Amino acid sequence: MKKKSVKVGLIGLGTVGTGVVRIVSDHQEDLFKKTGLNIEIHKILVQDKAKKRSLSVPEHLLTANVEDILYDSEIDIVIEVIGGIYPAKEYVLAALEQGKHIITANKDLMALHGAEILNLAQEKNCDVFYEASVAGGIPILRALVESFSSDRITKMMGIVNGTTNYILSKMNQEGADYAEVLKEAQALGYAEADPTSDVEGLDAARKMAILSTLGFRVAVNLDDVDVTGISHISKEDIAYGKKLGFEIKLLGLAQCDDSDEIEVSVQPTMIHSSHPLAAVNGVFNAVYVHGKAVGETMFYGPGAGELPTATAVVSDLVAVVKNMKFGVTGREIVVPYKEKRLKSDNKKFSKYFLRMIVTDRRGVLAKITQLLADNNISLDQVIQQPCSGEEYAEIVLITYEIAKSDLDGFLYSMRDVDVVKEIKSCYRIEKGEEQ
């Protein structure tokens, strides 16, 4: 490659796009030292060229016509930071057809259409990097592809959504209700006006699909992820967890056993206070990775924000420019090559926390214990206390490690038990290191 500069087309000038322009503009000397080439933002797609922005951008760089980027032969790399599926997918595929390399922060796009995009990139000998799509400024994807390339990853577990982690942290620290903290998160800009994607676990599920695909080399789709959100979590659940030595976190979990069967989930989990993830609070993210050779590692940092996310995008930009310079583009594309084999529920094992309201009379616990035995469930702990001013009692059960299918069978059978007023909560338990 003999050119002295690389020209970049930027699709989107929102929070992340603005951060990319700032970093590229302010770090020209460093970028040249790292790549040996000048990196130039050549054209930026915006909806409104006249809009006032926090960053002054020369007017000649702005365009409202995406074709000025997609079909400009001078542009080598396209950075997509508009988010969503449409029209981002069309833009990315069109750019690849023109032989342009792609950098994106779009988790929705890569989780749902990553295979199609990567296959086309491989066909066109183009790079597609998407570090910023999972954990903002945390370099987890490059670590999975490069640093763990000689190891076999068996487990990935993490806090990959800052909004839910902020909400649960505040509930834990202040004993506040979910609805109250959600309103505060929305006022601070941590949660959207419609928080469904975050609080119902969908955002985290998309990220776990991406992590699982890269970590296990299997095409994991969003439909393969078992998802439960946090909207039902009460301050009473959190208080019980603290008494028992647990913190409640929305955890993404991906595991692959020796037979190459995998399970991927996102669910509120009681994690022992001794585990490093239990100490991750606020809007921060963390991903815990276990490799057969390296053992346990953890990646921690800001999961969102203008400059943390933009830093990951520019890191990808540097990687693409280096690949262009040495003529090795397209070689880092990770196309899943292993057969997908999902674990059945009778092979998914964990301890569980259950809290229920029952009629406060003799023989109730014996009836529940019999149903537990009928479903192959053994108990580690039982806590029972009366509900104040009512004829009901509250029972908390901590099981030993059981199959998810047995848990589901027990919960189903409890629907027909007249002495059980309500099953208030059921959470998976992640053990601490010493347990």
Q: What is the residue extent of each domain of the chain?
A: 5-137+306-326, 140-302, 345-430
Question: Which is nearest to 308 in space by CA: 288, 287, 285, 289?
Answer: 285
Residue 269 CA, chain-centre distance (Å), reads 15
pLDDT above 50: residue 119:
yes
Please give the average per-residue pLDDT across 28-56, as a whole number: 92
Whether 42 and 75 have beta carbons less than 8 Å apart is answered as yes
Torsion angle of the four alpha carbons 63, 69, 75, 80, in this order, in degrees rounded to the nearest 10:
100
pLDDT in tens, 267-314: 999 999 999 999 999 999 999 999 999 999 999 998 877 888 999 999
b (16+ CB within 10 A) / e for 32-64: eeebebebbbbbbbbeeeeeeeeeebeeebbbe
Label residue 435 by pLDDT band (50, 70, 90).
Answer: very low
Whether 309 and 16 have beta carbons less than 8 Å apart is answered as yes
Packing angle between helix 15-26 and helix 306-326, nearest 10 degrees?
60
Tokens 């076999």: give the residue.
Answer: 152
pLDDT in tens, 398-416: 999 999 999 999 999 988 8
Between these two residues, 28 and 4, which has the higher pLDDT value?
28
List the catalytic residues: 207
- pLDDT at position 434 is 45
Question: Which is nearest to 137 in space by CA: 20, 256, 5?
Answer: 20
Q: What is the mean pLDDT of the chain?
A: 92
Residue 287 CA, chain-centre distance (Å), reads 9
pLDDT above 60: residue 433:
no
**Which helix H or strand E contains 372, and what residues bound it?**
helix 364-374
**Which helix H or strand E contains 19, and what residues bound it?**
helix 15-26
Record the tokens describing residue 123, joined without a space. Answer: 């066909």
Question: Which is nearest to 276 in space by CA: 288, 266, 259?
Answer: 288
Alpha carbon distance 100, 78 (integer Å)? 7
Q: How many CB atoms lie within 10 A of CB 6?
A: 23
Kindly report the CATH number that applies to the domain delimited by 140-302. 3.30.360.10
- pLDDT at position 19 is 94
Between the CA of residue 192 and those of 183, 273, 368, 409, what are the distances in Å? 10, 30, 41, 37
Whether 203 and 107 have beta carbons less than 8 Å apart is answered as yes
- pLDDT at position 295 is 92
Alpha carbon distance 107, 59 (integer Å)? 30
- 3-class secondary structure, 280: coil
The pTM for the full model equals 0.91
pLDDT in tens, 343-379: 999 999 999 999 999 988 888 888 899 999 999 999 9
pLDDT in tens, 238-250: 999 999 999 999 9
Alpha carbon distance 365, 29 (integer Å)? 71
At residue 197, φ and ψ (nearest 5 deg) are: -60, -40
CB within 8 Å of 86: residues ≥ 6 apart: none
| Topology adopted by domain 345-430 | Alpha-Beta Plaits (3.30.70)
Length of the chain: 435
At residue 247, φ and ψ (nearest 5 deg) are: -115, 145
Q: How far apart are the first and last CA of the chain?
A: 56
At residue 390, φ and ψ (nearest 5 deg) are: -130, 170
Q: How does strand 420-430 pair with strand 349-359?
A: antiparallel
Label residue 166 by pLDDT band (50, 70, 90).
Answer: very high
Question: Which is nearest to 330 in space by CA: 317, 320, 340, 339?
Answer: 320
- pLDDT at position 1 is 54
| Topology adopted by domain 5-137+306-326 | Rossmann fold (3.40.50)
